[in-house]
Amino acid sequence: MKKLLSLVLALTLVIGGISFGTPLKASAADLPKEHKEALNYLNEIRRTVGIKELELDPYLNKAAQNHADYLTLHGLTSLNTDDGHWEDSNKAGFTGENPGDRAKAVGYDNSWVSEVISYDDDTLMKTLDGFLNKTVIHRDFLFSHADIKIGFGISGSNVVFNIGKSASEVTPPEFFSYPYNGQKDVDTYFSSKWERPDLLKKFGVSKSGFAISYYTPEWADSFTAKITDSKGNDVPFYSDEMGLVHLYPKQELKYNETYTVNVKYGSRNDTWSFTTKSDPSNPTKQSVNVSAKPTASKVLVNGKELSFQAYNIDNNNYFKLRDLAMVLNGTQKSISVGWDGEKYAISLESGKPYGEVGGELTVAEKLNTEKATLSTSIIYLDGKEVKLTAYLINGNNYFKLRDVAAVIDFGITWDGKTNTIGIDSSTGYVME
């Protein structure tokens, strides 16, 4: 009887108006569009650097929203609070002193919760871009390979990300970096005013070149690093190590310049390159958004009609690579889709079975015209680099169908009378 009474009390306990143990259900499909874009964009980058994707957790989502509401209710900002991660139990809206307590208060089953906060943005995408490109410690939290759950909260200009559920079974990548190999449009500088604590203070400066992060699970007493520009000139830098290695170029990086980084850490000897953004004073070099309209055509795969979330850009149809691999699986055109950590690229192997990761062939209930930007994804087929035209739409890469058909060699047909695209795994690709 005592155990039963304890259980009833646990299920009915209310902390700050939040029922403890109340079952919550949510999926990416339930999120507002803004949340989907942020989740997809972050996961696209995590996939690119070789880290497991994050999953939406309804409890972390609720805990993050509660804390964002608390910050707004009390007018807390970076200017008037020393630590916005803590709540006062004597104030209205209190749901827990720290991130772990707040997550447990709504039913989260793990006490390990990291939290990052922005006080100055009013959208999730602005906040995410800021965490990735204007911070170092906050960025590192988003790249924790062992954390696989996330929740978002937004209230006024306060945005809270809760990340948790440490998963020891997740195999860490051999290494990853940010900027990652082949990344383009990288910012040129980092400012101490963007993040607290001030990571540049110990170097006696308030501004540096764009901060570079490097991670490997190996342990070593020391490391060496080198940064060079496209002409082979050495770029001097400051450095520190706080779980991840951070390199801070002493001067602002040049526009439209490719930099190569080498880090030797333990037995690791890793090299990668990235390119900075174009000079904003020269608009002809800027990235251009194009319009991507939902594909209105019917799609037949080996004679069977299937639904795809696909887009039409300049009269060409663009599909997700994993969707195509899924429908070709088990045919003579089967391909596996993986990640090559050494080359920082998507790796395709012909004739291999496709391993489902979840989310393939998912179609949103309502598709709208979206903005698309050219993707910088690098693709290897059977160890050789192939060129595929791709666009980034809401955080996902969409590849030109005919480009994919040409390199994998499956048939594509078009019936203008019935507005039908045909995908045929029994034949090879024939150029238009």
> pLDDT digit string (tens) for 81-140?
667 889 999 999 999 999 999 999 999 987 689 899 988 777 888 889 889 999 999 999
What does the pLDDT read at residue 252? 94
Percentage of the residues of the chain whose pLDDT score is greater than 90 = 54
- 144, pLDDT greater than 90: no
Task: Say whether pLDDT at 310 is over 90.
Answer: yes
This model's pTM is above 0.95: no
Full 3-state SS string of the chain: CHHHHHHHHHHHCEECCEECCCCCCCCHHHCCHHHHHHHHHHHHHHHHHCCCCCEECHHHHHHHHHHHHHHHHCCCCCCCCCCCCCCCCCCCCCCCCCHHHHHHHCCCCCCCEEEEEECCCCCHHHHHHHHHHHCCHHHHHHCCCCEEEEEEEEECCEEEEEEEEECCCCCCCCCEEECCCCEEEECCEEEHHHCCCCCCHHHCCCEEECCEEEECCCCCCCEEEEEECCCCCECCEEEEEECEEEEEECCCCCCCCEEEEEEEECCEEEEEEEEECCCCCCHHHCCCCEEEEECCCEEEECCEEECCCCEEECCEEEECHHHHHHHHCCCCCCEEEEEECCCCEEEEEECCCCCCCCCCCCCCCCCCCEEEEECCCCEEECCEEECCCEEEECCEEEEEHHHHHHHHCCEEEEECCCCEEEEECCCCCCCC
Does the pLDDT of residue 54 top 60, yes or no? yes
Q: What is the pLDDT of residues 70-81, one digit of tens each?
A: 999 998 876 566
Q: What is the pLDDT of residues 396-423, one digit of tens each?
A: 889 999 999 989 999 999 998 999 999 9
Confidence category of residue 8, pLDDT binned at 50, 70, 90: very low
pLDDT digits (tens, 9 = 90+) for 365-403: 889 999 999 887 788 898 888 888 899 898 788 999 999
Grade residue 320 by pLDDT with cuts at 50, 70 and 90. very high
Q: Tell me the pLDDT tens digit for each residue of 146-177.
A: 888 999 999 988 999 999 876 566 778 889 99
Looking at every residue in the chain, the average pLDDT score rounds to 85
pLDDT of residue 167: 57
At residue 19, does pLDDT exceed 60?
A: no
Residue 142 and residue 148: Cα distance in Å, rounded?
10
pLDDT, position 12: 23
pLDDT in tens, 173-194: 889 999 999 998 899 999 988 8
Please give the pLDDT value at position 285. Answer: 43
Q: What is the pLDDT of residues 269-301, one digit of tens each?
A: 999 999 998 877 665 444 568 899 999 999 999
In this predicted structure, what is the pLDDT of residue 52?
A: 86
